[in-house]
Each structure stands twice: as structure tokens, then as C-alpha cells.
């Protein structure tokens, strides 16, 4: 019990600290590279924080339980918009500066529709799955291509601080992004382990 | 979340712990980094995080698992989980795009999104408790 309580306290402190370093590292990296923070937010933070879902789902599929991926993926999407975006906007109204968002949001809606179309026959076949992965590659390519055209998203860049305002170098930014992400995921696991143990000391079922 | 938990293997209390603690636990990295981005006034990072994460989940997480082993998708996935996901996605797009002038997700809209999430989670817990009891 003492160990579990210690895990919760340590997990919470580490979570807040590593999230801070992760976001700072990602924002600094974006500014040094001269790309919009939205792109880094999407590709590094968005994909990075979904790495646990990917690992858990791929492992479960390998063990003959691929259905977990749907519950995991869709459940996580629902939590991202309902819990996270909802709670964040409740704390402080969220300004949407970027023109790119006007293009990414319809794209996300389209992807959501395509996923329903694939599910209509009651299964995600290997061909369906390959199609999903090809779409992911296309979405990533499109985002990078858009970012490289540069200047297009002047509105999003306008309020960005110049790189000189950052105390971190590009190298430090990249390192903190990676270290922050690993610690962020590890501290979340630590926190969950502690919380489950305190809630139910006898079982370690989950 | 709920889809993967095997109901018969857990008691009701285990399931509720699983649905609440573990579900929130897997969202902790997103939640912590979003609040941190908000504190740094990096609003584009918050929305970028959500959009990127959802694209990755729908395409990458499901795609990779489906390539490893084809997925049998029960009716509930489409009629319950996909519908809630689609409603939230559409609501986010409508709120964020801002039809007149720059977009802005205000507190009322944030509260509405959170309300849908709480109702969905409450419904999941309710149906699982019902199934386990019956």
C-alpha cells in the first residue's frame, strides 16, 4: 500500500513535469525548424501520445485478439475530443488561429466516414487494414507537404515567438521531446498501477 | 476501453475500475500534454494533438492490428462507438472552424463535449453492470 501510494505521488509529479518538457521540446523544435506548431502538434505530440494504444493493440492482435484495437482506438478518439478537448476548453476557451485546421478537420471527418464504410460489412479485413495504413501515409505526406510550402499558414505563425526567444537549442528540443514522451508514458503507467492497487489491493488483474 | 475487456473474467468492481481508472490512465499522456500546452498558450498544439492522435488511432492503430489479424467488428462498434466518435468529431469541426471570423472553442462548447463523453462512459458502465448482473 505504501509502495502504491508512493507510485501515485511519484507518477503524478513525473507526469506533470515530463508533459511540460515534452511540450516545450516539441514547440522549440517546431520553431527551430520553421514549421507550424500545428504540424508538430499533430505529428509528434498527437502520434507520440498514441504510441501506447498502438503497442497494446498490435500486441493483442498478435495474440489473436485484434478486436481490442477498435475499442482502444475509437475509445481513445472519444476521450480525446470529449474528455481532453472538452476539459481544456472548459478551463480556458481555445483560440483556433490556424488556417491548416480548417483543412485538417474536414480531413478527419472524411477519415471517420471511410472507417464506417469499411466496418459496414462487419469486419476489418487485411485489405481494409492495408487501405487504412496507406491512408495514414497519405495524410502524413500531405501534412508535411503543406508545411513545406511555407508561408501559407501565416496566421498560425504570426503569434509564434522567434527561435531566439527560446532558451533551448534544436538539439535540446529534440532530446527533451523524446525523453519527455518516454517519461510521460512511463509515469502514466506508474500512476495507473498505483491507482488500481489502492482501489483493489488483492488483484493485479489489470 | 470497454471493447477489449472480457466481461466474464472480471467482477463488476474490477470492470468499473478498468473502465474508469485504466481508460483515464491511457488518456493521461494526452491530457497532461494538452494542459501543459494550454498553460504555455500554445493553443494550436492542443487541437493539433487531438487531430493527430485521432487520425493515428483510426488509421494506424486499427490498420496495424488489422494487418496482423483481420478484425471481426461487432454491431455495437458501428452503432454505438463509431456513432459517438462521429458526433464528437463533427461537433469539434463545427466549433473549431469558426464560420464567421477566427474559430474558437468556448466554455459552453467544451462543456457540451465533456457532457457527451460523461454520458457515453456512464452508459458503458451501466450496460456492463446490467450484463454482469443478469
Q: B105: nearest CA in chain A? A: A94
pLDDT tens by residue, A54-76: 888 888 888 888 888 888 889 88
Q: Is the pLDDT of residue A200 over 60?
A: yes
Q: pLDDT tens for residues A4-44?
A: 889 989 998 999 899 999 999 988 988 888 887 778 888 88
Q: What is the pLDDT of residue B108?
A: 95
Q: What are the chain B neighbours of A62 within 8 Å (beta carbons)?
A: 68-69
Q: Say if residues B29 and A19 touch (Cβ distance below 8 Å).
A: yes
| Chain B: closest CA distance from residue A200 (Å) | 8
A179 contacts chain B (CB < 8 A): no
Q: Would you call B47 an interface residue with chain A, using a CB distance cutoff of 8 Å?
A: yes
State the best of A73, A153, A187, A205 to mutate against chain B, taking most chain B CBs within 10 Å.
A73
What's the pTM?
Answer: 0.83
| CB contact set of A148 (below 8 Å; sequence gap of 6+) | A35
Residue of B nearest to A88 (CA): B35
CA nearest neighbour of B28 among A1, A43, A190, A25 = A190
Residue A161: is its pLDDT beyond 60? no
Q: What is the pLDDT of residues B8-46, one digit of tens each?
A: 445 556 666 666 676 677 788 888 989 998 988 888 888
Do A41 and B29 make contact, defined as CB atoms within 8 angstroms? no
- Mean pLDDT for chain A? 84
Cα–Cα distance for residue pair B38/B32, rounded to 1 Å: 10
Q: How far is B56 from chain A (nearest CA, A)?
A: 6
Q: How far apart are CA A173 and CA A28, in angstroms?
A: 6
Answer with the residue of higher pLDDT: A158 or A173.
Answer: A173
- Specify the higher pLDDT residue, B115 or A36: B115
Mean pLDDT over B107-113 rounds to 96
DSSP chain B: -GGGS-GGGS-HHHHHHIIIIIHHHHHHHHHHHHHHHHHTT-HHHHHHHHHHHHHIIIIIIHHHHHHHS-EE--HHIIIIIIHHHHHHHHHHHHHHH-SSSSEEE-HHHHHHHHHHHHHHHHHHHHHHHHHHH-
Task: Quote ipTM for the complex.
Answer: 0.86
Look at A15-19, A119-123, A150-154, B15-19 and tell me which has the smallest mean pLDDT. Answer: A150-154
Q: Residue A204 — very low, low, confident or very high, per pLDDT cuts 50/70/90? A: very low
Amino acid at each position: 500500500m505504501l509502495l502504491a501510494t508512493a507510485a501515485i505521488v511519484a507518477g503524478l509529479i513525473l507526469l506533470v513535469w515530463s508533459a511540460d518538457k515534452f511540450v516545450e521540446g516539441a514547440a522549440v523544435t517546431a520553431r527551430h525548424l520553421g514549421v507550424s506548431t500545428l504540424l508538430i502538434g499533430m505529428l509528434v505530440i498527437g502520434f507520440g501520445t498514441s504510441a501506447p494504444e498502438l503497442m497494446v493493440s498490435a500486441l493483442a492482435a498478435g495474440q489473436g485478439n485484434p478486436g481490442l484495437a477498435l475499442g482502444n482506438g475509437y475509445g481513445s478518439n472519444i476521450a480525446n475530443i470529449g474528455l481532453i478537448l472538452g476539459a481544456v476548453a472548459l478551463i480556458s476557451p481555445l483560440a483556433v488561429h490556424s488556417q491548416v485546421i480548417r483543412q485538417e478537420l474536414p480531413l478527419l471527418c472524411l477519415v471517420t466516414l471511410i472507417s464506417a464504410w469499411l466496418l459496414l460489412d462487419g469486419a476489418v479485413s487485411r485489405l481494409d487494414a492495408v487501405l487504412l495504413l496507406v491512408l495514414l501515409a497519405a495524410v502524413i505526406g500531405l501534412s508535411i507537404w503543406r508545411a513545406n510550402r511555407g508561408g501559407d499558414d501565416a496566421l498560425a505563425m504570426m503569434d509564434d515567438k522567434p527561435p531566439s526567444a527560446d532558451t533551448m537549442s534544436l538539439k535540446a528540443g529534440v532530446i527533451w521531446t523524446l525523453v519527455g514522451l518516454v517519461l510521460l508514458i512511463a509515469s502514466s503507467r506508474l500512476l495507473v498501477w498505483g491507482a488500481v492497487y489502492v482501489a483493489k489491493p488483492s488483484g493485479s488483474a489489470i | 476501453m470497454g471493447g477489449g475487456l472480457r466481461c466474464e473474467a472480471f467482477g463488476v468492481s474490477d470492470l468499473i475500475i478498468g473502465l474508469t481508472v485504466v481508460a483515464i490512465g491511457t488518456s493521461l499522456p494526452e491530457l497532461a500534454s494538452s494542459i501543459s500546452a494550454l498553460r504555455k498558450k500554445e493553443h494550436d498544439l492542443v487541437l493539433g494533438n487531438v487531430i493527430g492522435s485521432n487520425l493515428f488511432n483510426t488509421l494506424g492503430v486499427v490498420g496495424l492490428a488489422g494487418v496482423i489479424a483481420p478484425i471481426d467488428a461487432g454491431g455495437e462498434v458501428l452503432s454505438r462507438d463509431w456513432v459517438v466518435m462521429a458526433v464528437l468529431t463533427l461537433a469539434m469541426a463545427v466549433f473549431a472552424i469558426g464560420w464567421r471570423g477566427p474559430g474558437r472553442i468556448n466554455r459552453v462548447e467544451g462543456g457540451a463535449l465533456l457532457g457527451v463523453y460523461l454520458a457515453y462512459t456512464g452508459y458503458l458502465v451501466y450496460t456492463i453492470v446490467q450484463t454482469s448482473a443478469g
